[in-house]
Amino acid sequence: MPQPITPSAPLLRACQLNVRIGGKPILEDIHLALHREEIVTLIGPNGSGKSTLVKALVGAIKPTSGRVEIDADLRIGYVPQRLHLDPTLPITVSRFMNLPRRHRREDVHQALSNAGVETLHNAAMSQLSGGQLQRVLLARALINRPDILILDEATQGLDHRGIADFYQKIEEVRQSYRCAILMVSHDLHVVMRTADHVLCLNGRICCEGKPERVASSPDYQALFGEQTAQMLALYRHHHEEVADAG
Ligand SMILES: Nc1ncnc2c1ncn2[C@@H]1O[C@H](COP(=O)(O)OP(=O)(O)OP(=O)(O)O)[C@@H](O)[C@H]1O
């Protein structure tokens, strides 16, 4: 007999979240839920509040009103946009994995292996390529076996191949760790392939749902169509200046 489908409780839930900074509304009336093994992706133009929302969800900033519900026992792994390392600091990947606290050797190895960079154990952090560095940051987020993995534009600066490989790895991580994944991303094409649920943010959530639903939404098209037009205008402006100078 088929079993009735009972939706599992979300691992993280935000209700009526509002954030104002210096009196200016940055996020308004945000509702979201994140379930185990679900990939939710946040997209939105520059300055639309994506990073602010991530910070509010992980408790790095306090919302002006509304609430974030998350079980205190859950482990959260976080992959930042980028890492600024002093290139003169002689630090190996293995040492970096043990900051700020030491982990068991086999846990470090497992995390590096699951992120696809087990061979970089003794490499100098300053010598890593952009793609390798992002994998090491992913490994560090995985070391505590997170229930929720949060990535804030983790593929910034990678080429198309690097982006595709990284998302493939995220898909494997979801399966092996059975974690919920929340990503901020600008890689619209890959988002549309990878995410289970897409939230399109512009101060408030202007559309959301399955990727194909969001992609065909007029709000999404208005936002990203406009951004493309702006990029084109910038390009034209720059191009004309160069042509005038010549
Ligand atoms: N500490 C702060 N003080 C003042 N304004 C802030 C602060 N943090 C964020 N903001 C403003 O909040 C808005 C949203 O910023 P946020 O960084 O969350 O956007 P974003 O969608 O992540 O942008 P991007 O895609 O460019 O990274 C911006 O207008 C930004 O200037």
Q: What is the pLDDT of residues 136-170, one digit of tens each?
A: 999 999 999 999 999 998 888 788 888 888 899 99
Query: Is the ipTM, as predicted for this complex, more than 0.95?
Result: yes
CA distance 69 to 26: 20
Residue 80 lies in a domain: no
- Both 203 and 223 in one domain: the answer is yes
Give the predicted TM-score (pTM) of the model.
0.85
Into how many domains does the chain fold? 2
Residue 87 tokens, joined: 């290139």
CA distance 227 to 233: 10
Pocket of ligand 1 (CB under 6 A): 21-22, 26, 44, 46-52
Phi, psi of 57 (to 5 degrees): -70, -35
Q: Around Cβ 118, how many Cβ atoms within 10 Å?
A: 15
- Both 46 and 153 in one domain: the answer is yes
Over residues 11-47, the pLDDT tens digits come to 999 999 999 999 999 999 999 999 999 999 999 999 9
Cα 46 to averaged position of ligand 1 atoms, centre (Å):
8
- Both 136 and 150 in one domain: the answer is no
- Both 141 and 237 in one domain: the answer is no
Q: What is the mean pLDDT of residues 188-212?
A: 90
Residue 15 lies in a domain: no
- Both 184 and 200 in one domain: the answer is yes
Cα 203 to averaged position of ligand 1 atoms, centre (Å):
10
| 186 pLDDT higher than 80 | yes
**Enclosing domain of residue 209:** 33-63+70-75+146-246
